């Protein structure tokens, strides 16, 4: 089936001739300008809508034509005529590119797994990056999500956390999503194996040593795989960061920014060497408890500026809503109860009430790390370090989909404009996968992932929650 459309060519203006040039091949392909009424119709048109994307800003009065999984044409509504199967009146509405959640774990809590894809879609999340899960568990989920007709976002996955020894997520003290990497040889073999299993990127975790880290980086480059990483505990942000494509949670940035970074790192290396047979989760947590807030308190402006200057090509995924949960207690929001009603029954009770999921009141009251997170995001943003939007769903009360909107709000609270926050959930993730020619903007040739909103997200970023329609992989999704 072929969508037919034509473009008015009277009284050309600069904008119009650019548009005409952009769609000329399509006009030729269509063969005729006026729709032939007897021919079968396909495609989707959203007319008279305000188009918003992080690259071009706000464009009112537009018509967007979609055929299959591609945007065919974007232009002023009074100049575009079309015949399509599905026509959506966008009057008074706002169209943004489909949102990404750059940090999710589809198999972290298997009570969530079956419903997660549909929940993402309901909240306008049309792409997710699964940042850690065992292949045996995550691969079948990915396969189901990618099946024809699935109500699911696009999914990009890393397989397991590539950890060192001991493993933090070892299946004993925490869900098993990590694997040990003993040495450089094992690192290379593991990346080769993961590539053969179809991963889209790799995830480097906190216990790897510098030798293993270097081997993983080299192997990933050889296999053309981007890298998401926690800065390893034995390394600095400024030495590990420039070799990876994204860094998660702002983890360990505080150490490198501290005036006493040398001493802190020395202590850390001694502890890591002395406690190799302890539990990975306990060791990691003990080191964070020992050093994190000390490092935050010892932040050295000049030193930190030098660290951030090394990170201008490394997307920071701060998972701000997670780090700043004490300052933005999501469970106190007016729409929390309604959102919890949509999660699997087994979790509903745990996630309700004044202290959901056992988050102690004391933790809720201490906002020092939350404040540090907001300050560091602002600092990075000013230094030209790219920021990406991710949530760590479903960890720490992250309702799939819903939590991405909280993330956008915290990014704006940290100093991003609403348009920049949209960029963090659209342009930056596309760049991570070198897909910026296909995703992240509303323009001809782009993938057809779109969210129609009832209210303007540039007036208030919370308006990304006013979801009217979701188009994912070129299909209108059920969202209500």
List contacts with Zn ion (CB under 5 A): 392
Nearer to Zn ion, 163 or 392 (CB): 392
Strands (E), 149-287: 154-157, 161-163, 178-180, 202-204, 227-229, 246-248
Task: Choose between 388 and 418: whose C-beta lies nearer to Zn ion.
Answer: 388
Q: Cβ closer to Zn ion: 194 or 453?
A: 194
CB of 354 to Zn ion, least distance (A): 26
Q: Min. distance of Cβ 437 from Zn ion in angstroms?
A: 28
Give the residue with the Cβ less far from Zn ion, 228 or 258: 228
Which positions ≥6 away from 361 have C-beta within 8 Å? 355
Name the minimum Å distance from CB 103 to Zn ion.
Answer: 5
Query: Any idea what the Cα angle at residue 395 is, between residues 394 and 396, rounded to 5°?
Result: 120
Which is nearer to Zn ion, 404 or 453 (by Cβ)? 404
| Residue closer to Zn ion (CB basis): 63 or 391 | 391
Quote the tokens at residue 3. 């969508």
Q: By C-beta, is 53 or 392 nearer to Zn ion? A: 392
Work out the widest C-alpha separation in the chain, in whole angstroms. Answer: 78
Q: CB of residue 102 vs Zn ion: minimum separation in angstroms? A: 10
Q: Are strands 450-453 and 94-97 parallel, antiparallel or unpaired?
A: antiparallel
Q: How far is the CB of 242 from Zn ion (least distance, A)?
A: 21
Closer to Zn ion by CB, 47 or 158: give it: 158
Nearest partner of 104 among 176, 153, 151, judged by Cα: 153
Answer whether 301's CB lies under 8 Å from 317's CB.
no
Task: Report in angstroms how near the CB of residue 392 gets to Zn ion at its nearest.
Answer: 5
Minimum separation from the CB atom of position 248 to Zn ion (A): 6
Phi, psi of 228 (to 5 degrees): -105, 140
- Under 8 Å between Cβ of 53 and 426: yes
Residue with tokens 């706002």: 94
- Cβ-based nearer residue to Zn ion, 141 or 452: 141
Report in angstroms how near the CB of residue 106 gets to Zn ion at its nearest: 11
Q: How far is the CB of 108 from Zn ion (least distance, A)?
A: 8
Minimum distance between the CB of residue 132 and Zn ion, rounded to whole angstroms?
6
Report the nearest approach of Zn ion to the CB of residue 322 (Å). 9
Task: State the Cα–Cα distance between residues 377 and 386, nearest whole angstrom.
Answer: 10
Calpha distance 132→157 (Å, rounded): 7
State how far the Cα of 324 lies from the Cα of 312, in Å rounded to an integer. Answer: 23
d(CA 189, CA 222): 12
Compare residues 67 and 392 and give the one whose CB is closer to Zn ion.
Answer: 392
Residue indicated by tokens 């690192």: 187
Number of Cα atoms under 13 Å in the Cβ half of residue 23? 27
Closer to Zn ion by CB, 238 or 391: give it: 391
Cβ contacts of 333 within 8 Å, gap of 6 or more: none
Buried b (16+ CB within 10 A) or exposed e, 428-440: bbbbbbebbeebb
Report the residue number, 392 or 407, with the smaller CB distance to Zn ion. Answer: 392
Q: β-strands 44-53, 94-97: how paired?
A: parallel
Q: Which residue is nearest to Zn ion (CB)?
A: 392
Q: How far is the CB of 389 from Zn ion (least distance, A)?
A: 14
């Amino acid at each position: 089936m072929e969508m037919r459309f034509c473009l008015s060519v009277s009284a050309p203006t600069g904008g119009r001739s650019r548009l005409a040039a952009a769609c000329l091949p399509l006009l030729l392909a269509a063969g005729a300008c006026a729709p032939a009424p007897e021919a079968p119709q396909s495609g989707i048109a959203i007319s008279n809508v305000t188009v918003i994307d992080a690259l071009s800003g706000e464009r009112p009065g537009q018509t967007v034509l979609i055929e299959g999984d591609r945007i065919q044409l974007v232009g002023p509504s009074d100049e575009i005529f079309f015949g399509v199967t599905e026509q959506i009146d966008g009057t008074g509405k706002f169209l943004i590119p489909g949102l990404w959640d750059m940090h999710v774990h589809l198999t972290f809590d298997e009570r969530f797994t079956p419903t997660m894809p549909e929940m993402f879609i309901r909240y306008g999340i049309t792409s997710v990056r699964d940042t850690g899960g065992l292949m045996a568990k995550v691969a079948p989920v990915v396969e189901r999500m990618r099946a024809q007709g699935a109500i699911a976002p696009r999914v990009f996955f890393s397989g397991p956390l590539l950890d060192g020894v001991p493993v933090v997520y070892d299946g004993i003290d925490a869900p098993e999503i990590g694997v040990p990497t003993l040495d450089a040889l094992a690192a290379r073999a593991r990346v080769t194996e993961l590539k053969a299993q179809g991963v889209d990127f790799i995830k480097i975790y906190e216990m790897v040593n510098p030798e293993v880290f270097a081997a993983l980086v080299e192997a990933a480059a050889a296999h053309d795989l981007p890298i998401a990483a926690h800065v390893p505990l034995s390394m600095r942000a400024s030495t590990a960061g420039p070799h990876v494509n994204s860094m998660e949670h702002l983890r360990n940035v505080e150490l490198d920014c501290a005036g006493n970074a040398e001493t802190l790192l020395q202590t850390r290396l001694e502890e890591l060497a002395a406690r190799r047979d302890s539990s990975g989760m306990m060791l990691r947590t003990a080191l964070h408890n020992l050093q994190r807030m000390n490092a935050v308190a010892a932040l050295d402006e000049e030193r930190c500026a030098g660290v951030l200057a090394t990170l201008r090509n490394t997307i920071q995924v701060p998972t701000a809503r997670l780090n700043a949960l004490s300052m933005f207690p999501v469970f106190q929001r007016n729409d929390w109860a309604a959102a919890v009603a949509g999660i699997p029954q087994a979790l509903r009770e745990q996630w309700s009430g004044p202290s959901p999921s056992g988050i102690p009141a004391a933790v809720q009251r201490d906002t020092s790390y939350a404040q540090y997170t907001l300050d560091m995001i602002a600092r990075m943003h000013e230094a030209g370090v790219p920021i990406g939007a991710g949530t760590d769903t479903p960890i720490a009360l992250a309702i799939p989909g819903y939590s991405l909107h909280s993330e956008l709000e915290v990014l704006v609270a940290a100093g991003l404009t609403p348009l920049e926050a949209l960029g963090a959930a659209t342009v930056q993730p596309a760049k991570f996968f070198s897909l910026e020619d296909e995703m992240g903007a509303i323009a001809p040739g782009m993938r057809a992932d779109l969210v129609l909103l009832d209210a303007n997200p540039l007036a208030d970023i919370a308006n990304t929650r006013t979801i009217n329609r979701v188009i994912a992989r070129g299909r209108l999704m059920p969202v209500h």
